[in-house]
Amino acid sequence: MEGALVARDKVGIQDFVLLDETTETAFMENLKKRFDKDLIYTYIGALVVSVNPYKDLDIYNSNQMDLYMGVNFFELPPHIFALADTVYHAMMLELNNHFILISGESGAGKTEASKKILQYYAACSPETDLLTSVRDKMLMSNPVLEAFGNAKTLKNDNSSRFGKYMDIQFNSEGEALGGHILNYLLEKSRVVHQNHGERNFHIFYQLVEGGEEDLLHQLGLERDCLYYNYLTQGECAIMSSINDKNDWKTVKNALKVIEVSESDRTDLFGVVASVLHLGNVEFDPDSRGNASLDNNTELRWVSTLLGVNAQTLQEGLTYRKIRAQQDQVLSPFNIDHAIYVRDALAKAMYGRTFTWLVRQINESMENKDDTMKMVIGLLDIYGFEVFYVNSFEQFCINYCNEKLQQLFIQLTLKSEQEEYEAEGIEWEAVQFFNNKIICDLVEERHRGIISILDEECLRPGDATDLTFLERLEEKMGDHPHFVTHRLADITTRKTLDRGDFRLLHYAGEVTYCVVGKRDRHTQHTERVRPSQQHTGRERPSHSKYRERERPVQVATQFKSSLLKLTESLLAKDAWYVRCLKSNESKKPGVLDEALVRHQVKYLGLMEHLRVRRAGFAYRRRYEVFLQRYKALCPATWPHWLGLPMDGVQVLVQHLGYMPYEYKMGRTKIFIRHPKTLYATEDAFERCKHELGERKMCCYKAKGELKKRKENGERCHPRRSQARKEVERRDWAVKVIKKFINGFINRGDARSTDNSEYLAFVRQSYLNRLKLKLPQTVLDKTTWLTPPSVCQEASELLRKVYYRLMVRKYVRGISQQKKGQLQMKVVTSAIFKGKKDSYPQSITRSFLDTRIVNGHLVNLHSSQTYSVPVVKYDRKGFKPRPRQILLTTSAAYLVEEAKIKQRVLYTSLKGPLSVSAALFQGDLVFQCDHLFEFLTKLSMLANKQNAFQVVKGSITIEIQSGKQGAVDFTTGPEPLVYKDKNGHLMVVRHPPPHTPYPLKSG
């Protein structure tokens, strides 16, 4: 805090507690001011706020570690090393347990923060052979857990897809004895499905890209990620920013360090390979439409790698076992159900393997010393997030954040109140949002959402996702933080689908989709039992199986483990790191204020600031306060011989503190307003200058006297030289004094006192601006913030510079790119803001043909565009592969080289309605490149304004006088099928490329 007082004019306030106004606007202004100077850490009392800069900063080297070791928390600028050092020394001094809660959304830097803390403890602990071993295992557990538990997402190339709590155990000498890891809610659904632009867990790509040839041959794998269905759904299997080959070497070395045996490593990679093979298992329909597997190579590899009988595995994937008293009946699966069971098996195998791997790491780091030990815990947990579609996993993650927010407020209020009571100062109540009502809504017995979900999953009869929603409405229909489509008012009902419910969390409203929650809530037990090939030792894929009469409920297990975690944390002293993501595009130097403001809200930073202030901005022990400011009072300078408390009382009375501005505790002084402290600090700065000038005068007088004496004893040339030296030093003193006066008066109008200093400021700003000019036309935020004296010139320079960059950019656009941009403008006019998948089309170039293989009809030079489609018959909606060719006058539907149908552009009458991917009419077909096709069609037919986006259901003409319909809905995976009511049902999640009819005349 003392450092914050000195540096406040240069880089904002280093501690938010010292803000004059505890408003969100003041908070954001201070945060941005520091971020623009690459100062990514700021305090709220003892809480560290960290902003991800998306670039490397040289602030984590060994010199920085040495600088922060054993130093007072507020003595140096904010840093995560300062927090780590303070926690370590508090543990050693008080001999109790502590934990550091690291929170924030994906991409905010939580994993990196935990790494830096681990590295600091590895460096600061005493050097012993045991420490070296434990330190290496703790540090090398990170690449292993990242390989098996992290993945590339839209927000982060190395996003943790599980929650992690790690205990670091120390003895009374401060030596690291061991560690223990608890993992929470691994995102197993990622194993079988990834959104566009995302990848599966890193280990799959590392094995395929970096694995040795012998190993791949032994596992039956191809060195091609595109060969495996589970690795290609995000369409970004190969990433230039991720080096899978090097990461594979790191993971293999880390597995050796954490003492995973060679045979276990072989079994571990066998499970990973079996998941890839399982994803490539495809089912064929038999004569009755049921799923069948005949002579499947991938299935044989799975059975070999897992040690499972191939016939047993095949039956488990294609039949359901129904027990009828003493008999078993096999009920065949259809293809959709078989695919679901296959994916469930893959997820269960990977989840058990991850649990086994964490257990192996814990056994490797296990503390072998039974003497007294203390613990520092690191909790790297999921951040509160809101997506377009929020699934069951997101419900559990946000529930976890509710519990941690409740714990956060509870511990913060408790520590603040205890300090006030210990100092004998009256506690002033702080208003805050108590989210216990939301936690009870989720976890209350017999009435909470999780309990109702348990009942619906175990209830016999025809229980569905919608019956679960009806039970929720029945149980908590009058709850102020719960609403559904049926319970909402007219305005809110427009924003809710019939299968959604909405919770008002502490951080805002979140809408959850109930579709698939029952399936994901129930853990399906494996239908296949692997053989035990090693007696007495459990292989990674060989968990101990036992028959269960009832399925295990995932959310109930998660709730129980979360309650145990909070009980454990309540027994420790809490410290916090709040991580903020500066922007969504991962650009260095860019701070998206709207994004950061939202994170500040749901991380509860303003509530923590108000609790921390509690009426007093500054508190410090009497000895520290007196030592810093004693020079301001003649009675306390240079030495105070009485009690520190009495000295502080004399000092504040001399400074003119009013009674309402401060309170005197038993060991500390409490100052209410920052402006009071700033006035004291400003007086201290002026006092330091005066003391410095006095010392300079004394030094000057002594030097002159000494030189005169020397000159008198020497010859005249020496006397002349000495006189010149005296004059040079006099000149130097005047220059330094003038510079100091200019700095003090820098905010005044230009005068003789500050003119040279202001000239120096202008020159310094222009030199720094030259090195930090924006590199792109779209970069509007990195322009160097000017001092007040340069604001007008800076604005003129900025306009001139951006005009120059715009001119260069325009001149550099090729004719081909110009044509692409013109098509993108048409696409934007038709779809922007109306189609959920529209933003994904922006970065893709439009092509003139999408047909690589197959026979094309020859339409000579009039053909301008071609694309493969799936055409659905009007009667029965049977899918048929076709091609569409666009010419300058008409669209042709082609089967191989035969023209099946021609649609003249003049016969297309608007408006043509589009719903999710649908033109209203009598020609129904599916196209994987919707935006490209419709843009080409609209430009060729000159009907850019003829498209109208609608939702819900579209009626089409089947025959004269008869009509059919295409219905749209959402679900856990995209499907297109004919429904029982005769309609064509299109299920999308997330919004896929869906079939659409086109009216031909």
Backbone angles phi, psi at 880, to 5 degrees: -140, 130
The C-alpha atoms of residue 351 and residue 148 are separated, in whole angstroms, by 10
Reading the block at residue 315, the tokens are 């039956």
By CB neighbour count within 10 A (0-12 exposed, 13-18 middle, 19+ buried), where does 93 fall? exposed
Whether the CA torsion 666, 668, 674, 678 is positive or negative: it is positive
- Binding-site annotation, residues: 104-111
The β-bridge partners of 663 are 670
Assess contact for 1 and 14: CB atoms under 8 A: yes
Phi–psi pair at 145, nearest 5 degrees: -65, -35
Residues 846, 57: Cα–Cα separation, whole Å: 40
Whether the upstream peptide bond of residue 911 has omega within 30° of 0, thus cis, is: yes
962-974 residue pLDDT tens: 777 888 888 877 7
Least confident of 484-493, 588-597, 730-739, 988-997: 988-997
Query: Does residue 111 have an active-site annotation?
Result: yes
Mark whether 782 is an active-site residue: no
> What distance in Å separates the CA atoms of residue 435 and residue 592, rounded to the nearest whole number?
28
Let me know how long the chain is. 1001
Q: Contact, 474 vs 455, CB < 8 A?
A: no
Strand order in the sheet with 953-959: 953-959, 962-970, 984-988, 975-978
Which pLDDT band holds residue 918 (cuts at 50, 70, 90)? very low
Q: Is the pLDDT of residue 464 over 80?
A: no
* Higher-pLDDT residue of 695, 359: 359
Any long-range contacts for 179-182 (C-beta under 8 Å, 24+ apart)?
179/134, 179/137, 179/138, 179/141, 179/362, 179/365, 180/362, 180/365, 180/366, 181/141, 181/145, 181/358, 181/361, 181/362, 181/365, 182/358, 182/561, 182/565
The arithmetic mean of pLDDT across residues 423-435, rounded, is: 71
User: Is pLDDT larger for residue 981 or for residue 141?
Assistant: 141
pLDDT of residue 269: 93
CB neighbours of 445 closer than 8 A, spacing ≥ 6?
451
Say how far apart CA 999 and CA 101 lie, in whole Å: 59
Say yes or no to pLDDT of 278 above 90: yes
- Among 30, 142, 159, 636, the active-site one is 159
In this predicted structure, what is the pLDDT of residue 79? 92
pLDDT category, 781, cuts 50, 70, 90? Answer: confident
Which tokens is 844 given? 């893709």
CA 816 to chain centre: 37
- C-alpha to C-alpha distance for 827 and 872, rounded to whole angstroms: 25
853 is an active site residue: no
> Choosing from 42, 86, 106, 114, which is the catalytic residue?
106
Q: Which of 270, 383, 448, 604 does the annotation list as catalytic?
A: 383
List, as one string, the DSSP characters of 563-577: HHHHHHHHTSEEEEE
DSSP 8-state symbol, 551: P
Strand partners, 451: none
Question: Containing H/E element for 387?
Answer: none
Distance CA 388, CA 618 (A): 43
Give Cβ neighbours of residue 505 (< 8 Å, ≥ 6 apart).
384, 398, 401, 402, 435, 438, 481, 602
Is 755 catalytic? The answer is no
* pLDDT reading at 997 higher than 70: no
Q: Is 156 a catalytic residue?
A: yes
Strands 159-160 and 150-151: antiparallel
Q: What is the pLDDT of residue 995?
A: 52
Listing DSSP states for 222-259 in one string gives -S-GGG-GGGTTTS--S-TT--HHHHHHHHHHHHHHTT
User: Minimal CA–CA distance to 473: which of 460, 464, 486?
Assistant: 486
For residue 668, pLDDT beyond 80: yes
- Say what the pLDDT of residue 790 is: 87
pLDDT, mean of residues 60-64? 89
Residue for token digits 């330094």? 736
Answer yes or no: is pLDDT of 248 > 90: yes
Q: State the average pLDDT over residues 319-335.
A: 76
Mean pLDDT of the 412-425 span: 76
Alpha helix segments (H runs only) across 494-547: 517-521
- Is residue 159 part of the annotated active site? The answer reads yes
354 band by pLDDT with thresholds 50, 70 and 90: very high
CA dist 877 and 893 (Å) reads 17
Question: Is the predicted pLDDT of residue 271 greater than 90, yes or no?
Answer: yes
Least confident of 231-245, 524-538, 886-900: 524-538
pLDDT level of residue 563 (50, 70, 90 thresholds): confident
The more confident residue out of 411 and 339 is 339
Indicate the range of 91-100, 451-460, 487-496, 539-548 predicted with least confidence. Answer: 539-548
Q: What pLDDT does 922 receive?
A: 62
pLDDT band at residue 999 using 50, 70 and 90 as cut-offs: very low
- Whole-number pLDDT of residue 325: 61
Q: How confident is the model at residue 276 (pLDDT cuts 50, 70, 90)?
A: very high
Per-residue pLDDT at 549: 45
692 is catalytic: no
Mean pLDDT of the region 541-559: 54
Question: Average per-residue pLDDT in the chain?
Answer: 80
Average pLDDT over residues 603-632: 79
Structure tokens at 561: 């483990």
Of the residues 156, 522, 841, 913, only one is catalytic, namely 156
For the chain, percent of residues with pLDDT exceeding 70: 85
Beta bridge partners of 925: 871, 996
User: Is the model more confident about 760 or about 130?
Assistant: 760
**pLDDT higher than 70, residue 880:** yes
Q: What is the pLDDT of residue 409?
A: 73
d(CA 104, CA 396): 16
How is residue 721 written in tokens? 């030289």
Q: Other C-beta atoms within 10 Å of 496: how many?
A: 17
Cβ–Cβ under 8 Å, residues 149 and 188: no
Mean pLDDT, range 782-802, rounded to an integer: 89
Q: Is a pLDDT exceeding 80 seen at residue 309? A: yes
Contact 59, 78 (CB under 8 A): no
pLDDT at 532 (0 to 100) = 38
Q: What is the separation of C-alpha 415 from the centre of its chain, rounded to a whole number of angstroms?
A: 29
- Does the pLDDT of residue 863 top 80, yes or no? no
**Active-site residue 106, yes or no?**
yes
- Indicate if the pLDDT at residue 430 is higher than 70: no
- Residue 337, judged by CB atoms within 10 A of its CB (0-12, 13-18, 19+), counts as middle
Structure tokens at 783: 């322009």
Residue whose token pair is 């990977």: 350
Which pLDDT value is given to residue 533? 37
pLDDT tier, 530 (very low <50, low <70, confident <90, very high otherwise): very low
With 0-12 CB in 10 A as exposed, 13-18 as middle and 19+ as buried, what is 706?
exposed
* Angle at 130 (CA atoms; ends 127, 132), nearest 5 degrees: 55
Mean per-residue pLDDT for 452-462?
Answer: 72
Return the closest-CA partner of residue 37 out of 66, 5, 76, 9. Answer: 9
Q: 160, 250, 583, 794: which is the annotated catalytic residue?
A: 160
Candidates 112, 385, 419, 593; catalytic one: 385
Look at residue 138 and tell me whether its pLDDT is greater than 60.
Answer: yes
Residue in 50, 52, 103, 107 annotated catalytic: 107
- CA–CA distance, 987 with 975 (Å, rounded to integer): 5
Residue 835: pLDDT over 50: yes
Highest-scoring range by mean pLDDT, 104-113, 272-281, 439-448, 509-518: 272-281
Q: Minimum mean pLDDT among 435-449, 579-593, 751-765, 903-917: which range? A: 903-917
User: β-pairing, 890-895 with 618-621?
Assistant: unpaired
Q: Which residue among 30, 42, 52, 111 is the active-site one?
A: 111
Please tell me the distance from the alpha carbon of residue 151 to that of residue 192, in angstroms, as a whole number.
13
Q: Taking 80 as the threshold, does the pLDDT of residue 612 lie above it?
A: no
Which residues are part of a known binding site for ATP?
104-111
Residue whose structure tokens are 């409740």: 406
The pLDDT of residue 660: 80
385 in Cβ contact with 106 (< 8 Å): yes
